[in-house]
């Protein structure tokens, strides 16, 4: 992989673009542990008296947008994108400008993950199952995963630490919004949580146990506008399995084959049920790596796209799926290639599954999923690994993520950059690479707000027999 070059300046920007190029420095570092080294950014503070609380932050990169990819300057004020400029002469005079030599993508949207479980290392039973209810009773799974979570994570009161650790794993892959399910609403320190604040909810237990009262409550919430998206595990198992195949009809009997419902997995859905999904404006989340690991097959993604069903890509969890969305993208691409579907499912199609299509599945397409004026400033900056931004993304690893913004705030990235943008970030070494990550400060005053990464990791190591690495192949 190529070395990264950062050119940073914080100055009272002059209108003349000629001056803009005077402060370029090239830094090279030695690669460590087979991962690319991180170049050191050159930083200069704004002139005395020029900075102010409402100062714009401007980030320069090749901006990936539906209308095409070109070099631009993303102007951020508060938590929003104020503008995307194509002419440097229009940069606000008092802006703090950061030049990044790579691509700028909208923050990726992970439409399904079990974040709080991702502190547990990967597990494999060495065999396939018919449906999710089978492996949940597997003795090795119970010993290595389920009992560890119950006895160690919950039993030793480190669920908050497990959630934050899982969120760090997600944001390393560029995710800025994630769908999961917790016992209580979580403060958004590092990443956005797709929950009731976004008019979203989920039911992940056995669909056969959904009682009529709960179903009616969901329907009432939809009717009142309190709920826009409702996520269910449906059809998770082999396409030939009767139990997995019966789940969609159970949903129908509850009145929940309707707009706004999101089906996670859907491997066992037949053609007629897929048509019902389309006809009722429902959505699907595709998790190929986890599906293939557990069942040996996955969603008929070709048929789903032929029916023009809105589908998003997500890892499900790291224990049998991918460590993060970047890894899931690469896996999905390998699967598509193996099935000779690349003409129908391009790199751009996969990119859409974690950006604008994922935003539609999540019900946030009016504010996330694209880099555009007035949208929330959730942005991922990566190295440029291919002239085509979509093919470049499919070559991208977490080590190639230079910076992640959530609501205009730098929360993760190369420490050489994060240390300058947010001196309060935690310095963490992952596979020989220094990263900076923000783990504190949400205004709630709870203990989770004040935890530094070292405390999070130490508490988890004391409670669990082993914890998953932040990045795990």
- 5-14 pLDDT, tens per residue? 333 333 333 3
Evaluate if residue 337 carries a pLDDT over 80.
Answer: yes
What was the pLDDT predicted at 253?
97
Q: Would you say residue 29 has pLDDT above 90?
A: no
Q: What are phi and psi of 426, to 5 degrees?
A: -85, 135
Q: pLDDT band for 402, please (50, 70, 90 cuts).
A: very high
pLDDT band at 50 (very low <50, low <70, confident <90, very high): very low
pLDDT band at residue 41, thresholds of 50, 70 and 90? very low
Predicted confidence band of residue 450 (pLDDT cuts 50, 70, 90): confident
Give the pair of three-digit tokens for residue 407: 């609501």
- Cα–Cα separations (whole angstroms), residue 439 to 165, 240, 304: 9, 45, 39
Q: Which of the 8 DSSP states describes residue 27? A: -
Residue 294's nearest CA partner among 325, 271, 315 is 315
DSSP 113: B
pLDDT at 116: 94
Report CA-CA distances (Å) from 406 to 7, 35, 44, 80, 349: 21, 25, 24, 10, 24
Token digits of residue 83? 């503008």
Per DSSP, what are the bridge partners of residue 59? Answer: 74, 98
Three-class DSSP category at 305? helix
Q: Which two tokens stand for residue 24?
A: 């370029």
Q: In which band, very low, low, confident or very high, does the pLDDT at 244 lie, cut at 50, 70 and 90?
A: very high
Give the range among 144-148, 281-285, 316-320, 439-443 with minimum mean pLDDT: 439-443
Integer Cα distance of 213 and 329 in angstroms: 38
Residue 25: pLDDT band (50, 70, 90) is very low
CB atoms within 10 A of CB 19: 13
Kindly report, residue by residue over 122-143, the tens digit of the pLDDT.
Answer: 999 899 999 999 999 999 999 9
The pLDDT of residue 458: 97
The predicted-structure confidence for 109-119, as pLDDT tens digits, reads as follows: 999 999 999 99
- The model's pLDDT over 140-154, given as tens digits with 9 standing for 90+, comes to 999 999 999 999 999
100 contacts 147 by C-beta, under 8 angstroms: no
All residues at 6 or more sequence positions from 217 whose CB lies less than 8 Å from its CB, including other chains:
none
Which structural domains are found in the chain, ordered by start?
6-106+375-439 (2.30.40.10), 109-362 (3.20.20.140)
Task: Identify the pLDDT of residue 181.
Answer: 80
Nearest to 358 by CA among 284, 459, 270: 284
| CA separation for the pair 298, 301 (Å, rounded) | 8
Closest CA to 90 of 56, 123, 114, 64: 56
Q: Tell me what pLDDT residue 447 has.
A: 66
The more confident residue out of 444 and 333 is: 333
Output the six-digit token pair for 316. 């499900």
- C-alpha to C-alpha distance for 460 and 156, rounded to whole angstroms: 9
Residue with tokens 């995963």: 145
For 206-234, write each residue's pLDDT tens digit: 999 999 999 999 999 999 999 999 999 99
Residue 44 pLDDT exceeds 60 = no
**Residue 398: CB atoms within 10 Å:** 24
Please report which residue ranges of 296-386 form alpha helices under DSSP H.
Answer: 301-306, 325-338, 347-352, 356-362
| pLDDT tens digit sequence for 295-321 | 999 999 999 999 999 999 999 999 999
Alpha carbon distance 321, 113 (integer Å):
10
Chain segment 66-105, per-residue pLDDT in tens: 888 999 999 999 999 999 999 999 999 889 999 999 999 9
Does residue 15 register a pLDDT over 90?
no
| pLDDT band (50, 70, 90) for residue 446 | low
pLDDT value at residue 473? 74
Of the pLDDT bands very low, low, confident and very high (cuts 50, 70, 90), residue 442 is low
Cβ(349)–Cβ(391) below 8 Å:
no
**What CA–CA distance (Å, rounded) separates 314 from 438?**
24
pLDDT > 90? residue 45: no
**Per-residue pLDDT reduced to its tens digit, 371-391:** 999 999 999 999 999 999 999
Q: Phi and psi for 95 in degrees, rounded to 5?
A: -70, 150
What pLDDT was estimated at residue 239? 97
> What confidence score (pLDDT) does residue 27 get?
29
pLDDT-above-90 percentage for the chain: 79
In whole angstroms, give the CA distance from residue 83 to residue 73: 8
CB of 364 closer than 8 Å to CB of 395:
no
């Amino acid at each position: 992989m190529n070395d990264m070059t950062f050119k940073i300046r914080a100055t009272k920007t002059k209108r003349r673009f000629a001056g803009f190029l005077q402060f370029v420095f090239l830094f090279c570092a030695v690669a460590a542990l087979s991962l690319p080294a991180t170049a050191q950014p050159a930083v200069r503070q704004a002139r005395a008296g020029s900075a102010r609380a409402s100062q714009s932050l401007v980030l320069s990169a090749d901006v990936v947008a539906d209308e095409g990819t070109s070099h631009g300057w993303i102007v951020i004020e508060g938590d929003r994108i104020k503008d995307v400029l194509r002419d440097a002469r229009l940069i606000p005079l008092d802006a703090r400008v950061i030049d990044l030599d790579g691509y700028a993508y909208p923050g990726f949207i992970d439409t399904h993950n079990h974040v709080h479980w991702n502190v547990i290392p990967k597990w494999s039973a060495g065999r396939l199952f018919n449906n999710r209810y089978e492996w949940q009773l597997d003795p090795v799974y119970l010993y290595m995963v389920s009992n560890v979570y119950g006895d160690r994570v919950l039993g030793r009161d480190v669920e908050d630490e497990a959630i934050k650790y899982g969120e760090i794993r997600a944001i390393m892959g560029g995710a800025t919004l994630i769908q999961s399910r917790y016992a209580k609403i979580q403060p958004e320190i590092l990443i956005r949580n797709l929950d009731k604040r976004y008019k979203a909810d989920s039911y992940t237990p056995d669909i056969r146990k959904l009682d009529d009262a709960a179903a009616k409550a969901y329907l009432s919430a939809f009717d009142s506008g309190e709920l826009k998206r409702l996520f269910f595990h449906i059809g998770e198992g082999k396409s030939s399995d009767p139990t997995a195949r019966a789940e969609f009809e159970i949903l129908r009997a509850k009145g929940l084959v309707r707009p706004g419902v999101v089906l996670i997995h859907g491997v066992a859905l037949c053609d007629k049920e897929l048509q019902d999904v389309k006809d009722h404006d429902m959505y699907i989340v595709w998790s190929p790596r986890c599906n293939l690991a557990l069942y040996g097959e996955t969603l008929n993604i070709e048929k789903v796209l032929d029916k023009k069903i809105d589908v998003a890509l997500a890892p499900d969890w790291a224990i049998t799926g991918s460590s993060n969305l970047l890894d899931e993208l690469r896996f999905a691409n390998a699967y598509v290639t193996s099935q000779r579907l690349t003409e129908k499912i391009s790199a751009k199609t996969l990119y859409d599954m974690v950006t604008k299509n994922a935003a539609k599945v999540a019900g946030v397409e009016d504010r996330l999923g694209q880099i555009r004026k007035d949208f929330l400033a959730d942005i991922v900056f990566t190295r440029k690994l291919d002239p085509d931004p979509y093919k470049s993304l499919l070559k991208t690893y977490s080590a190639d993520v230079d910076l992640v913004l959530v609501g205009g705030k730098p929360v993760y990235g190369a420490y050489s950059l994060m240390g300058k943008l947010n001196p309060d970030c935690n310095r963490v070494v992952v596979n020989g690479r220094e990263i900076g990550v923000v783990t504190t400060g949400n205004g709630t005053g709870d203990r989770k707000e004040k935890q530094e990464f070292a405390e999070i990791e130490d508490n988890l190591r004391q409670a669990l027999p082993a914890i998953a690495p932040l990045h795990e192949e």
